[in-house]
Chain A
């Protein structure tokens, strides 16, 4: 069997195969092939980018660091993070944007990374749960999740944290109702929601006692 190499992170460099991309695009007229350039805005009007189906080198910006990886264009951002970059904090649960477990920030906005192709994340700032904080240096939202026990099995927790962090970034004094809407796309089968709301309120305004924190 002749194996294609599964994509793995590379040192930061442009791959040589893109060198002829411009010429191919010119020959094809309207199709630009195999580019690692992230910025679709630079494409001339009417030109469609064609990548793959074979593994293609792309450059992403993950947690403030550039990363080059070689992946098939069908690979989602979620799988790229988990299987190619070793960032396993982001979870795959429903694989269709229904549960929010794979939530990451794309330019600060929460997105379900199972519904984003990795190639479409080029040119955007991707922040994952690992980029938010670490066990010894937690983001205030992560710390609030721990202090209010806003987690049980913990599998929804990274996505839940990312949704709450994005909501508080947008509105630092979010109400319980606003937090409910911000986490409406995050499923927790253990039923930890009341403590998630408490955590969000705690992170929003430390020390504020509310109805939702009453039972913590």
Chain B
């Protein structure tokens, strides 16, 4: 059964009534102007004290009685065939309990798993790896994308070409669009391979029941249910015989979906030894083998007419995700700016390097970098103000409003027109547009439980990658039940709870919060039925607010939430909620923009980011405090991508030469600029909470804004990332 409701949706100065059809038992979606008491108030994350005192238990911290330490031997060769593996010496080392050869005899990248051991200490496990003798037949390899694309290149996958299938998409007529343009540009932009560098490396603790028919795995994952399903298939167990637990997770960024090799290895070693086995990867393995953001080489053509309207956007991009795919960057080209003629062509090239995996807004930071720097090159050539150029080519009213807010907060007009210093330090400013579509998906179910002592518990089979999921879910339940947040506890990270989706694609808050709200609403109805006879009212006339259950029309007729809970006949009262499909609502995309100011030392080539202003739409913000943390993080990861990060492969040896946290350059405290974040509230009416994810949209435009600011500072574009001093000097002609 469903019902129609009319919602007032939109944003400040631009609201409209929109009719949506929702299930009968779905709470009426929050709309524009709804005053909420807990949602939207800064709330410190509820698991903060555990994290700040070291009491939060990550996979890496789990120690079980009799547990063994596993370690994985990896191929030093980028391409080889394994003729033989001799485990005898490793097996005979005192303290070693199991050694096994892994199934794959074809090695396609340096760092691929070859064999594994389990021992009574991590040091002995490491010693044992050195005793494994592997007879490799080494094969020709290629790690450089250009070299791999040549006909004569060694083939990564045997007879298959290294050049993957090209994805084409186009609207209009690009050659014609370029022909009619008053002005055109053409340039090539490159971005490096970036690794995720999760501080907690990939890993798992696995434990089989004595009969071998029940598997429990504690693991560092963004998707407990996808790990469960993968392991169930691998070990031929029913899914409900596999339990996956992830209470705390030390970063994922897209690299921790599904059962990864170390989870399978830990489980196999546990099965072989009959005791729990822990496998946590060393740092170098994390860099080489657990995923990366593919590089890109993006050839862009752009045309503009006399009115500053885009007439053509053309992108031909190649990238390599090593032995993996996913090397595209076209997303922003077809989506952020309006243009009648757009063509994008994406091709992945296979190389003998570690497999790619999704990374924070896959394809978008690299695409946005090329698109936005091209926009600036185009604007300069056509003699148009850069911000005005973007305004003219965007038809999104949310972004238009955000440009104004951001420009004001940043001081765009003054800074953009300021004369350049005659000294060696040049200041520059840039602006870039962000976009994402984080409205979430249906699938999750939630349980909300009221206990007789008046406390409330939320249970969802989701996981917290650091975004504050526990806190967000507790806030939503507290809002619905009229309670302060400290009355609500969130239990997540266990496949014994109801199903939820992986925490990636900015899905968690928008997918889980509506299920929790619906569950809390159902629980509230049950509590109303207890309270109604006491208040002498119809349950439908009651409301929950200020820790009371009361008659809506006569709020002094009230009973405390706690007193109602005391009358729960059993120990607790629970209700479930379901995340129903998105309704439609106002709009389901999300816009954002970021402004950056940099200083470039034209003598040393060093770039320093001084100030970033970010304006983002995330629907309804549940907790501005944790939301700001996410946006800060998206920006700072973007600065790292702009200036520092670069996975380097040795073309002669075929190995990653910087698989450490000092040689792989990361942003540090001294590189952090002033950051100002503004949330632009949009009542989207897409779900009952209207919440959208922030993890990705906050990262999409950061690198691009910095690249545009560097161009503004020195007058020449630096078209290759990272913008290291040598590249900046080369762009200036000082190399």
Contact = CB atoms under 8 A, between A and B. Distances in A.
A90 B56 CA distance: 11
A99 interface: yes
A154 B51 contact: yes
Contacts of B50: 135
B669 interface: yes
B44 A149 contact: yes
Q: Is the interface of A mostly helix, strand, loop or mixed?
A: loop
B632 A195 contact: yes
B48 interface: yes
B677 interface: yes
A157 B96 contact: no
Contacts of A215: 628, 632, 675-677
A74 interface: yes
B666 A88 contact: no
Nearest to A194: B632
A149 B626 contact: yes
A98 B662 contact: yes
B537 interface: no
A102 B593 CA distance: 37
A89 B629 contact: no
A214 B624 CA distance: 13
B661 A216 contact: no
B466 A152 contact: yes
A216 B625 contact: yes
Interface in A76-93: 79, 82-83, 86-93
Contacts of A130: 53-55
B199 A138 contact: no
Contact of A4 (B54, B95, B661): B95
A135 B44 CA distance: 14
B553 interface: no
Nearest to B252: A153
Contacts of A87: 54
Contact of B49 (A132, A138, A152, A185): A138
B121 interface: yes
B674 interface: yes
Interface residues of B, number: 68
Contact of B54 (A89, A95, A188, A211): A89
Contact of A146 (B44, B250, B674): B44
A130 B49 CA distance: 12
A152 B662 CA distance: 22
A19 interface: no
A151 B51 contact: yes
The winner among B92, B250, B625 for most chain A CB atoms within 10 A is B250
Interface string A1-36: 111101000000000000000000000000000000
Contacts of A191: 632-637, 667
Contact of A155 (B121, B200, B625): B200
A96 interface: yes
A150 B53 CA distance: 13
A215 B613 CA distance: 11
Contacts of B53: 89, 129-130, 132-135, 138, 142, 158
A93 B674 contact: no
A153 B95 contact: no
Nearest to A144: B52
A209 interface: no
B362 to A, nearest CB: 17
A157 B466 contact: no
A192 to B, nearest CB: 6
Contacts of A62: none
A98 B287 CA distance: 15
B198 interface: yes
A126 interface: no
A173 to B, nearest CB: 19
B42 interface: yes
A129 B54 contact: yes
Interface in B248-294: 248-251, 253, 282-283
A101 B55 contact: no
B661 A98 contact: yes
A86 B63 CA distance: 8
A92 B123 CA distance: 14
A189 interface: yes
Interface of A: 1-4, 6, 72, 74-75, 79, 82-83, 86-96, 98-99, 101, 128-130, 132-136, 138, 142-143, 145-158, 161, 179-181, 183-197, 211, 214-216
10 contacts: A2-B94, A72-B123, A88-B60, A89-B55, A94-B661, A143-B52, A146-B49, A152-B466, A155-B251, A194-B632
The 6 tightest CB contacts between A and B, nearest first, are: A89-B54, A153-B466, A191-B636, A155-B250, A154-B51, A191-B633
